[in-house]
Amino acid sequence: MEILILGDGEVKALITMNEAIKAVEEAFKDKNLNKVQMPLKSFLFYEKYNGDHRFMPAYLETLNISGIKIVNTHPENRKKYGLPTVSGIIILADPETGAILAILDATWITLVKTAAASAIATKYLAKNNSKVLGLIGAGLQAISHIEALNCIMKLNKVYVWSRNYENAEKLAKYMAEQYSNINFTATKTIEETVKNSDVIATLTPSRSPIVMKEWINPGIHINAMGADAPGKQELDPLILKKAKIIVDDLEHASISGEINKPLTQGLITKNDIYAEIGEIILGKKQGRTSENEITVFASTGIAIQDIAVAEIAYKKALKQGFGIKINLTGPTFKLLQ
């Protein structure tokens, strides 16, 4: 039984952002066509270390692939230990035989599948002439979001906010060197970022609102991406009361997405959720219906995104000879390549 091992650098070399966007969009469609299995993600919480592990399984019938992502979130890792705040692996399996096919580093896949979801939501929910992006957070997710949303929006300006203004400045300078046609501006307040943007993406681990209702202009689209565990929250709930709310998966988002705390507090109900993004992609429900409408994509991140993107890397790796193969049968494993 050969298992292919792919590191982060190999995975990154094998996946383009446009491929990820296409794969995630198809996965969202298949979910709402009842062609996937996706049990709820489960968590191990390490309160004394301000961290967690989450376990995210899925089976995608159309791709004939199944797998599970095991990923951690430890916000203080970089400062305390010089380690990534998010890391993990994805294990792919053959639904026909149950054999383990591959183990992939999940770092790049987590970045691109999240940004791809934002891009897809923006495609269907933002105003057609949207050109200005606001980023709340200046980490790796901000970098991947710029790449993904530039595929959709034809960006000409990006505002970046970070708790540490120097980080926002560094990101703005770095990205300006990568995209000469886009103006990058570091901001000192979230308010400035929000008020000047057509589309914003919130990319923080916040557990209390940091984007307030009074800053929201008519017609804005918000990708609320940071709330990926119970208790996390980035938006003033009054924004949700005014907005058309779209989620990636209602069951998952209700427990660990941007809507989880407002639901628990009784500030909104599940009846306030307009649609899942897959329903809009399939045309079962309309996306944006007016220039002044406020739209929110409340994404918690779901396993079908990860497995769909990992499948691209796995198949391309086999064709191009990437990775290392190991055989785990017998008393000791044998290195095959």
Looking at residue 262, its amino acid is P
Residue 191 amino acid letter: E
49, two tokens: 């270390």
DSSP reduced 3-state for 120: helix
Give the burial string for 106-119 (b: 16+ CB within 10 Å, else e). bbbbbbbbbbbbbb
Pairwise CA distance, residues 302 & 250, whole Å: 11
Q: Which of helix, strand or coil describes residue 315?
A: helix
Annotated catalytic residue within 31, 69, 127, 261? 69
Active site residue 69: yes
Contact 275, 285 (CB under 8 A): yes
Distance CA 105, CA 5 (A): 8
- The closest of 67, 73, 62, 71 to 38, measured between CA atoms, is 67
Neighbour tally for 254: CB within 10 Å: 17
Rounded Cα–Cα distance for residues 63 and 67 (Å): 12
Instruction: Judge residue 29's burial from the number of C-beta atoms within 10 Å of its C-beta, 0-12 exposed, 13-18 middle, 19 or more buried.
Output: middle
Q: Which residues are catalytic?
A: 69
